[in-house]
Chains A and B, each alone.
Chain A
Amino acid sequence: MTTTKHRVGEHLRDQGVSRRAFLKFCTASASLMALPPGLIPAMAAALEQARRPSVIWLSFQECTGCTESLTRSHAPTVEDLILEMISLDYHHTLQAAAGEAAEAAREQAMKDNFGKYLLIVDGSLPGPDANPGYSTIAGVSNYAMLMEAVEGAAAVIAVGTCAAFGGLPEAAPNPTGAVAVMDLIKNKPLVNVSGCPPVPMVITGVLAHYLAFGRLPERDAYHRPLAFFGQSIHDRCYRRPFYDKGLFAETFDDEGARAGWCLYRLGCKGPSTYNACATMRWNAGTSWPIEAGHPCLGCSEPRFWDAGSFYAPLSVPTDLSSSRILTAGAAGALVGGTVATLARRTVATAATSRQPVTADELEQTL
């Protein structure tokens, strides 16, 4: 991997990237970051001067889907360019080195760039109180490795819903005691790029932002970059006009489904899901789940595995049980019946023990 002394502009020029190409790259990056096109010149100037950071990528309890998403992203040139701009010093799936050599590279990069490197994590990890044996790398528990690596990190990027929120490993009953990265890291700048997997351009967009502006982007309550997670799927959905008109598909094969109507009734979690799918799309911008006719699962939200059926509408409670209602109703009828029976007895007693009024008694009051 190349030296980190270079500034991005010089580095790219050395790679034979022209000014127009650079401008085009900045345009693409701005589009990724959902920045207004008017900011492109300022961004170009900043990127020109940016330094290439060292990046350490740790993969814990994950499925490699996030890495797949990134490496199979539709714009290899741009991805290449962004990856050119960083120095990816450790990624145990992608790097050529293996075994002790790989771990040595990690140790070395951490030492050389202490306080300056960017730490990227995908996957959740067994928490400090859980059995560390559930997930180890080179005999080191995920927890120990994360805490060691975070020490010298300038910022942390949690990629994917597992790293961001615990994801599938953390779903009930959470056998491994999985926790999210943000549960463990409180004193470093952290950004969550959630999604299962995240939109690849969002990962690179966050990197580009970090490169261009030297800091993490603005984030929401869940530390997600607002540029990508600031609006819900529902708000950016091209099918929104159908929702507003009250036109819904009710099965996957009805007229409404064929006409591309809103998928709310088929369980779409778009209204409560914040992500960039609706504008960035997937597979080279070809399409995205809702355009393909499937409701949004809400994969970029916390606990989406435990939020009830993917196919139950958002308004339906997560843990429905009509027998529970019936039981409560029966218990209520029993209680009410008891109260009423006692009350009837009260009335009967009052009626029989009631002292009849006589004219003599009334006369006494006159």
Chain B
Amino acid sequence: MTTPEQSTPEPAAPETSAAGLPDRPKLRLATVWLAGCSGCHMSFLDLDEFLFDLAAVADVVFSPVGIDTKTYPENVDVCLVEGAVANVDNLELARIVRQRTRLVISFGDCAVTANVPGLRNLCASPNGSSQQAVLERGYLELADTGAQLPFAPGIVPELLPRVLPLHEVIAVDLFLPGCPPSAQRIKEAIAPLLAGERPVMEGAEMIRFG
């Protein structure tokens, strides 16, 4: 079965062909943090010296841990997306990432399976939505004082009815599971990409969940 989500299998064969990429000196790399604990990003930082190697061949153009840019740029080559899609902001950013990125990597178990953020789907009401139930549980039932539902339109993003893994929202090109994926695993996945090759995602070292 061809995986429908994997619409752009090779980084070298982009559909949104950014003209002249092969000549571009540096890979444009982004990392995005959706509904996750940032553990995957911490693990990314654990790459230690490899980060210097990375900096030599790639520009970090968007990242909560690497650059201050607040707007996701155009023509990104590779993006590591941490976290599940839990609210409207996550959803909007995921869609932008897909539009502006050639190779999207589902980065860590939350992005791949919805993982811990997805646990709120367990308190779904009969219509399948856990949006209200999770707010009531968190802000009313468990409140010690001043119980009230958050209400700040335009400031606090609205929750989606269900928390979804990234590939149920946008097409994903590579899955890098792990909670978090170890620095070694991240390195094994990224290094081939820098050389224009697709990493081999096989074996417990590369794809075991958890």
A and B interact: no
